[in-house]
């Protein structure tokens, strides 16, 4: 959208023309007194010559406004492409927004309104460029969603579980007679209380989870059926994660099945800097089936105890059983000091979810099921930026990530041979063709650092201002590994931005306001106002906006220079890297 002040200036410029046109129309218009009755003219009556011959003057388009609007349309199109993750298309639209000004008879600097629009346009495009630099190598880890198990326990703690209506027990009893369960469902108040809560306060939450889970259930049930597991257990993720592949709990359990890192590794799930298979519903379901079978054997087929140990850990449950001398979950749950509250609530919560999910209509739930993802698999010979794949397949980056939730970043693993990437159904051949014709440098934006004589991994990490663990993981080497002179290391994105900013030369182009030097390049501008790097200590009352005004820059620029800055808040005493004008 164009600046409001600019529109005001444009309106002021054309007001005299509008006023003149208005006064002319009034001169020729008949004056009608509101209280006068309407006069109906006869068919033979002729209009007055003045009225009959008057032709309103044709509107004259302002070519400058038209030109600015055309440029703005291309800029907004670039914004939309960028939101979809289509970097190349966004660049093309941004470049076109600049080119229509450069190629016009006015140029970009001679006409005042065009000059103002051009300066602001370059500034906005440059801000996007800085953001692209910050995420351009695809090494920024994706965001995760809160796990539903935390939210459910929080609600039950805050509000308590409601007492079940007397009639609910009869409804559930009748339901259990008609629906066959392969995990026993006791009709006690603890299970009934959660059925009551899921029908009431948490109705929408549970319904949304069942709808989301409908696309995974056929796969989960097939895996469990093949492993001889109860199919009722397919609904465990409804409580654990609401079937969100990117769910992350407060204790760092992750994925649809909420595996902790250690348990995931024990059951065959890989996790490194590039991927985390806990977030892949299919791979995690296979691991969950393996783990649940282990727990079943450990607790002699008692699924209530097995489920409690799935939440609290088998060791903790075994110790509780040994200490209390009891081997029944409900007896253990009566002793608060034996089992933690979360585990005591977990089992009745799961059983209530199973009851509802097996017969949703009976309990007031109505939703349309979702179809499972369909996809092709493509073996990648080298690392590829997912944004390239999004453009090749004409999909959004979100769609590509949804098909590949195990990928922690926007790049596929660097060290994996023939990594199997899922792409939208019917696009596998397109991606293979693009892979064959694309130079390696176009597939993934990777930054490398060459090790110098005498350097250690810890020294390099400090020099690049990245964590040693991140640097090691990105290169698939131990954090204590020896590095040799001449060895090339992949640099995680945080260092990429800082390396660009460490020099005391010009800042990133977010603050340049000059003519774009060449068509086809994304706002490549030489800064007319050079800046030098400095450190600013935040004062009481400072905000990012006030600091940006102080240094005559933008909030986006300050955040790009300080990639570890959390959110939009700063605290007194905090030190920020900023670039001040030299003049």
Closest Cα partner for 236 from 331, 152, 327? 152
Q: Are 493 and 140 in contact (CB under 8 A)?
A: yes
Residue 163 sits at φ, ψ, to 5 deg, of -70, 135
Nearest to 148 by CA among 349, 364, 292: 349
Q: How far is CA 4 from the centre of its chain?
A: 30
What SS3 state is found at 420?
strand
Instruction: Identify the burial level of 272 via C-beta atoms within 10 angstroms of its C-beta, where 0-12 means exposed, 13-18 middle and 19 or more buried.
Output: middle
- Evaluate whether 215 touches 280 at the Cβ level (below 8 Å): no
276 DSSP β-pair partners = 271
Token digits for 176?
């259990």
Nearest of 272, 275, 245, 249 to residue 260 by alpha carbon: 249
- Element containing residue 66 per DSSP (H, E): helix 63-83
In whole angstroms, what is the distance from residue 330 CA to residue 286 CA? 29
Tokens for 325, please give them: 């001398």
CA dist list (Å): 101 to 75, 161, 497: 12, 64, 31
Parallel/antiparallel/unpaired status of strands 531-537 and 575-581: antiparallel
What does the alpha-carbon distance between residue 26 and residue 20 come to, in Å, rounded to a whole number?
A: 10
Residues serving a catalytic function are: 240
Q: What is the distance between the alpha carbons of residues 182 and 61, in angstroms, rounded to a whole number? A: 75
Q: Are 163 and 192 in contact (CB under 8 A)?
A: no
Q: Which residues contact 326 (CB under 8 A, 6 or more apart)?
A: 332
Residues whose CB is less than 8 angstroms from the CB of residue 267 and which lie 6 or more positions away in sequence, other chains included: 259, 287, 288, 290, 291
Tell me, letter by letter, the H, E, C secondary structure of 269-300. Answer: CCECCCEEHHHCHHHHHHHHHHHHHHHHHHCC
The helix/strand/coil state of 507 is: coil
Residue 516: CB atoms within 10 A of its CB come to 25
Residue 149 CA to residue 247 CA, distance in Å, equals 10
**CA triple 138-144-150, angle to 5 deg:** 165
* Residue 244 DSSP class: -
Is 106:67 a contact under the CB 8 Å cutoff?
A: yes
* CA 484 – CA 503 distance, rounded (Å): 26
């Amino acid at each position: 959208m164009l600046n409001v002040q600019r529109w005001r200036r444009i309106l002021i410029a054309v007001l005299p023309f509008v006023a003149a046109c208005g006064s002319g129309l009034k001169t020729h218009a008949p004056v009608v007194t509101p209280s006068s009755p309407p006069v109906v003219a006869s068919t033979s009556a002729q209009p007055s010559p003045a009225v009959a011959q008057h032709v309103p003057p044709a509107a004259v388009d302002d070519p400058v406004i038209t030109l600015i609007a055309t440029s703005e349309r291309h800029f907004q199109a670039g914004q939309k492409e960028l939101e979809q993750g289509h970097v190349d298309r966004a660049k093309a639209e941004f470049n076109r927004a600049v080119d229509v000004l450069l190629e016009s008879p006015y140029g970009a600097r001679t006409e005042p309104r065009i000059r103002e629009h051009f300066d602001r346009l370059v500034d906005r495009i440059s801000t996007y460029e800085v953001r692209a630099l910050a995420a351009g190598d695809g090494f920024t880890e994706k965001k995760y969603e809160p796990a539903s198990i935390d939210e459910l326990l929080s609600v039950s703690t805050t509000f308590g579980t409601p007492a079940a209506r007397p009639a609910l027990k009869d409804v559930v009893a009748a339901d259990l007679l008609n629906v066959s369960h392969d995990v026993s469902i006791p009709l006690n108040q603890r299970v009934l209380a959660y059925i009551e809560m899921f029908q009431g306060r948490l109705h929408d939450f549970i319904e949304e989870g069942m709808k989301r889970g409908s696309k995974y259930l056929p796969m989960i049930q097939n895996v469990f059926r093949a492993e001889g597991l109860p199919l009722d257990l397919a609904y465990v993720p409804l409580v654990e994660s609401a079937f969100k592949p990117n769910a992350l709990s407060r204790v760092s359990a992750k994925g649809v099945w909420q595996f902790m890192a250690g348990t995931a590794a024990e059951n065959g799930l890989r996790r490194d800097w590039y991927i985390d298979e806990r977030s892949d519903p299919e791979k995690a379901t296979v691991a969950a089936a393996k783990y649940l079978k282990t727990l079943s054997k450990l607790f002699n087929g008692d699924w209530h105890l097995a489920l409690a140990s799935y939440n609290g850990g088998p060791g903790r449950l075994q110790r509780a059983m040994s200490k209390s001398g009891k081997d029944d979950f409900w007896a253990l749950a009566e002793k608060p000091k034996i089992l933690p509250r979360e585990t005591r609530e977990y089992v009745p919560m799961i059983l209530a979810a199973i009851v509802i999910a097996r017969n949703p209509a009976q309990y007031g739930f109505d939703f349309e099921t979702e179809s499972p993802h369909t996809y092709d698999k493509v073996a990648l010979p080298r690392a590829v930026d997912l944004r390239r794949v999004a453009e090749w397949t004409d999909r959004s980056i979100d769609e590509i990530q949804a098909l590949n939730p195990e990928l922690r970043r926007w790049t596929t693993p660097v060290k994996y041979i023939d990594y199997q990437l899922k792409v939208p159904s019917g696009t596998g051949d397109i991606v293979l063709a693009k892979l064959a014709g694309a130079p390696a440098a176009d597939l993934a934006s990777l930054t490398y650092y060459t090790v110098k004589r005498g350097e250690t991994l810890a020294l390099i990490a400090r020099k690049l201002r990245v964590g040693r663990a991140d640097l090691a993981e990105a290169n698939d080497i131990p954090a204590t590994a020896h590095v040799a002179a001449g060895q090339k290391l992949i640099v995680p994105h945080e260092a990429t931005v800082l390396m660009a900013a460490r020099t005391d030369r010009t800042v990133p182009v977010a603050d340049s306001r000059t003519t774009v030097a060449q068509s086809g390049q994304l706002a490549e501008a030489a800064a007319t106002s050079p800046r030098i790097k400095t450190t600013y200590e935040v004062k009481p009352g400072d905000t990012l906006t006030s600091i940006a005004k102080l240094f005559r820059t933008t909030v986006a620029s300050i955040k790009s220079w300080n990639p570890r800055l959390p959110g939009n808040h700063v605290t007194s005493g905090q030190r920020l890297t900023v670039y001040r004008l030299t003049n």
